[in-house]
Structure 1
Amino acid sequence: MPVYLYWGDDSYRLMQAVQELRDQVLDPNWSAFNYDRLPPEATLAGLNQAMTPPLGSNARLVWLEETTLTQHCPEELSKELERTLAYLPPTTHLLLTTSSKPDGRLKSTQLLKKVAIVREFSQLAPWDEEGILKQVHSEAQQRDLKLSPEAAQKLAEAVGNDSRRLAMELEKLALFTAGQRDPISPEQIEALVPASAYNSFQLAASLRQGNLDRALQILTHLLDSNEPALKILAVLVGQFRTWLWVRLLLEEGERDPKVIAQKAEIANPSRVYFLQKEVGSLKSSALLGVMEQLLQLEYQLKQGQPEREVFQEALIQIVAILQKS
Structure 2
Amino acid sequence: MPVYLFWGEDTYRLSKAVQALHQEVLDPEWLSFNLDKIDVASGSDGTASVIQGLNQVMTPPFGLGHRLVWLTNPLVGATADLLPEFERTLPDLPPTSHLLLTQTTKPDGRSKLTKLLQKQAQVTEFALIPPWKTAQILQMVKRAAHDLEVPLTQAAGEQLADAVGNDTRRLYGELEKLKLYSLSSDAQNNTKRIGLEIVQHLVSSTTQNSLQLAETIRQGQTDQALGLVAELLNLNEPGLKIVATLIRQFRTWLWVKLMVVSGEQDERVIARAAEVGNPKRIYFLKQAVQTVTCQQLRQSLSCLLDLEVALKQGEAPRSTLITTVVEMSHICQANPILS
Q: Which amino acid aligns with 2:150?
A: L
1:227 aligns to what? 237
In the other structure, the counterpart of 1:164 is 169
Aligned residues: 320
> Is the aligned partner of 1:110 residue 2:110?
no
Distance 1:154-1:212 versus aligned 2 partners, 3 A rule: farther
Deviation string 1:141-164 (CA, Å, 9 cap, x unpaired) is 210112112111111121122222
Structure 1 segments unaligned to the other structure (5+ residues): none
- Partner SS for 2:100: strand
Q: Which residue of 1 aligns with 2:43?
A: none
Provide the residue aligned with 1:38 in structure 2: 38
* Aligned residues of 1:127 and 1:239 also touching (Cα < 8 A): yes
Residue 50 of structure 1 corresponds to which residue in structure 2? 57
2:74 to 67, 92, 95: 67
- Work out the CA distance in 1 between the residues paired with 2:200 and 2:331: 29
Identify the residue that residue 13 of structure 1 maps to in structure 2. 13
**Mapping of 1:199-238 within 5 angstroms?**
199-205=209-215, 207=217, 215-229=225-239, 231-238=241-248
Q: Which residue of the partner structure matches residue 192 of structure 1?
A: 202
Q: For residues 263-291 of structure 1, what are the alpha-carbon distances to aligned partners after superposition, in whole Å with 9 as ceiling and x for unaligned?
A: x35164xx233123222253374353244
TM-score by length of 1: 0.85
Distance 1:312 1:158 in 2: 22
In structure 2, the residue matched to 1:266 is: 275
Matched residue type, 1:186: L
Q: Secondary structure at the match of 2:29?
A: coil
1:92 partnered with 2:89 = no
Contact 1:66 1:98 in 2 (8 A): yes
Name the CA distance, whole Å, in 2 between partners of 1:230 and 1:195: 16
| 2:34 aligned with 1:29 | no
Seq. identity, %: 42
Distance 2:22 2:205 in 1: 35
Distance 2:200 2:191 in 1: 19
Root-mean-square deviation (CA, aligned residues, Å) is 3.1
| Contact persistence 2:217–2:325 (CA under 8 A) | no
- Evaluate the alpha carbon distance shift between residue 241 and residue 212 of structure 1 in structure 2; reply closer, same or farther with a 3 A threshold: same
Could you tell me how far 1:17 is from its partner in structure 2?
1.3
Aligned match of 1:76: 81
Q: Structure 1 73/294 Cα, relative in aligned 2: closer, same or farther at 3 Å?
A: closer
Aligned-partner residue type, residue 126 of structure 1: P
**Using the alignment, how far apart are the partners of 1:75 and 1:307 within structure 2?**
39
Q: Which residue of 2 aligns with 1:125?
A: 130
Change (3 A) 1:319 1:224: farther
Say which is worse superposed, 214-223 or 298-307, in terms of deviation: 298-307
What is the rounded CA distance, in whole Å, between the counterparts of 1:145 and 1:110 in structure 2?
41
Separation in structure 1 between the aligned mates of residue 307 and residue 169 of structure 2, nearest angstrom: 30
Distance 1:281 1:200 in 2: 16
Contact 1:30–1:57 (8 Å) recurs in 2: yes
